[in-house]
Structure 1
Amino acid sequence: MVVSALAITSTLIEASSEEAVDAMHGLATMEHVMVAPIWDAEQAENLALVAAATGLDVCEAHTASIADVSACPILTFDAARWNEASRSLDNHLFTIEIADKVFLGA
């Protein structure tokens, strides 16, 4: 799984708790998780182009940029939101929507 460093930053700003800090550090240290930074000016330019084309904020645009170049799906609670942004890009973004399920089994 690839996680945007800016998505982690955004999560920490919004959650602002020790639990969120621990969760993000734990996520980043998992064996099959790679945290994707912005390496150079070319990636920064691509990020700017995606943000301008989609109207996403910079943190969200970083996630879209990573998904676009790596062909990874975006794990989200709101696939429709990402599908709307995807219309502005050359390549369609793939999403996996997480839905709350209540088990009422016997």
Structure 2
Amino acid sequence: MSDFSPTPHILDSTILADIARGDADLIGFLQDFDRAGQALVIPSLTTAGALLDSRGLPDAQQLLAGLAAFERTTVAPLDGVHQAAKLADMIAITGLSPYDAHVAAIADVAVCPILTLNAAHWDAPSRALSQPLTIVEVAEPEE
């Protein structure tokens, strides 16, 4: 058995919002990732943003809780003044919303790729940082 563990992917607001809306294809894709041993990170503040965007949808909270229950998924809290200061710096430097700034702050510190449905959203914020972020876009297959 190998000790290799793939670098975790951090889920951004586009991914979490689509999960909260019940996108079955995306849920299946992430389940396949989990089964393949791919670790995922769910920023707690970004989850709050996805829940805010999906207010009124009856299953949003349950869908995100289901994602958090995957075997290889970790929910990343915003813990303490040091992390809050890092988040504030990330918002100031990149102009991102607090929700995606939490994603960027984790990605910056942990040197992990961000999984998104919209890579272009991350272009300018990534260029604003001294070390660019690694972005992985989930794209719909050509029909």
Give the TM-score normalised by the residue count of structure 1: 0.91
**Alpha-carbon shift at residue 102 of structure 1 (Å):** 3.9
Unaligned runs of 5+ in 1: none
What's the % identity of the aligned pairs? 39
Q: How many residues align?
A: 103
**Alpha-carbon shift at residue 29 of structure 1 (Å):** 1.2
C-alpha separation between the residues in 1 aligned to 2:60 and 2:115? 18
Q: Which AA in structure 2 matches 1:95? A: I
Task: Provide the residue aligned with 1:13 in structure 2.
Answer: 52
Task: Indicate the RMSD between aligned Cα atoms, in angstroms.
Answer: 1.1
What SS class does the counterpart of residue 128 from structure 2 fall into?
coil
1:24-103 aligned within 5 A = 24-103=64-143
Q: Alignment partner for residue 2 of structure 1, among 29, 41, 50?
A: 41
**Alpha-carbon shift at residue 79 of structure 1 (Å):** 0.8
Give runs of ≥4 in structure 1 deviating > 4 Å: none
Quick one: higher RCO (CA 8 Å, sep 6+), 1 or 2? Answer: 2
Unaligned runs of 5+ in 2: 1-39
Give the TM-score normalised by the residue count of structure 2: 0.69
